[in-house]
Amino acid sequence: MSTGPLLRVEGLCKHYGGGGGLWGRTPPVRAVDGVSFHVQPRETLGLVGESGSGKSTTGRLVLQLEPATAGEVWFEGRNLSDLSTAALRAVRARMQVVFQDPYAALDPRMTVGDFVAEPLVIHRAVSSRSEREDRVAALFRRVGLNPDFMRRYPHEFSGGQRQRVGIARAIALGPSFIVADEPITALDVSIQAQVVNLFQDMQQEMGIAFLFIAHDLNMVRYLCQRVAVMLRGRIVEMGPVEAIFGNPLHAYTRALLSAVPVPDPDVERGRQRIRLSAADLTPPPGAALVEAAPGHFVLR
Ligand SMILES: Nc1ncnc2c1ncn2[C@@H]1O[C@H](COP(=O)(O)OP(=O)(O)OP(=O)(O)O)[C@@H](O)[C@H]1O
């Protein structure tokens, strides 16, 4: 295995639609437009930006859940687009996802135990029913759930418990990398900290790296070592968490961090409208990420 980063993304693009229609050509939606970043083993990289900036699409492209329009994803030293279906299946055991809405991710007709066991069965990681039950019980304990609950159905659980079930499934095969797509947004504030602590424990004890997609900047500051800020399909700033929060260089990052609304168009943070000039929102032609300080990049 290579000694480079765990995950390396180069020039990733996803353009939806475009082409001819009844009313003439429509431009494609550039959901992801030339995104490059890396994630080191055991690192948590936060991906922030307003709704529609392309965060979830980036996560899906990294996981190969949909094809990219352009660009490359390298994971554990291999270019994922070069892999055969069988090789990609093996890689999928090492890269997992935890979604925002725990209930939507759970099949209501499946017991939560079967849901957690499914990846073990698909990847033939267990050879008997009793081994499967033992593994699921251990996973339940690992995420702070009573193993006696494994024969119950999702509707019998609270949001926080369902998210723990989703996390148990994600760690079942011992992944090295998890995309966590707004994993705490749907939870009560009182439960959010518990789930964030669970992510932190998993990072430390199991050595898992995360791409943590989030709206809540306080949570990102607490959990992540580095942050990438997305705007309209591009990363406009990326760097160590202290640099992004302590010395934000891009106007959009400053607006995201600012408690005070700034005058102009339409960027939303929660219920607060943040206003930026058109120049802030549209990078100059040929703009590229420039290293302004060690490890701290800004689009210029
Ligand atoms: N399957 C699709 N077909 C067409 N357009 C899409 C599709 N998926 C996403 N988009 C568009 O791509 C852009 C980026 O969407 P994406 O969901 O990645 O943003 P996001 O930053 O994750 O937003 P949110 O925080 O609301 O989840 C949006 O304009 C969205 O409407």
24-72 tens-digit pLDDT: 677 889 999 999 999 999 999 999 998 899 999 999 999 999 999 999 9
pTM to 2 decimal places? 0.90
**Which among 215, 237, 225 has a CA at the least distance from the CA of 283?**
237
Q: Which of 12, 14, 29 to mutate to test the pocket of ligand 1 (most atoms within 8 A of CB)?
A: 29
Summarize pLDDT for 223-257 with one digit per residue, the tens.
Answer: 999 999 999 999 999 999 999 999 999 999 998 88
272 lines ligand 1 (CB under 6 A): no
Whether residue 60 has its Cβ less than 6 Å from ligand 1: no
What's the one-letter identity of residue 200? Q
Distance 32 CA to ligand 1 centre (A): 9
Pocket perturbation via mutation, ligand 1, pick of 57, 179, 215 by most ligand atoms within 8 A of CB:
57
Residue nearest to atom 4 of ligand 1 (CA): 16
ipTM score here? 0.95
Q: Is the CB of 59 under 6 A from ligand 1?
A: no
Closest atom, ligand 1, to C-alpha of 53: 21
d(CA 124, CA 280): 51
100 lines ligand 1 (CB under 6 A): no
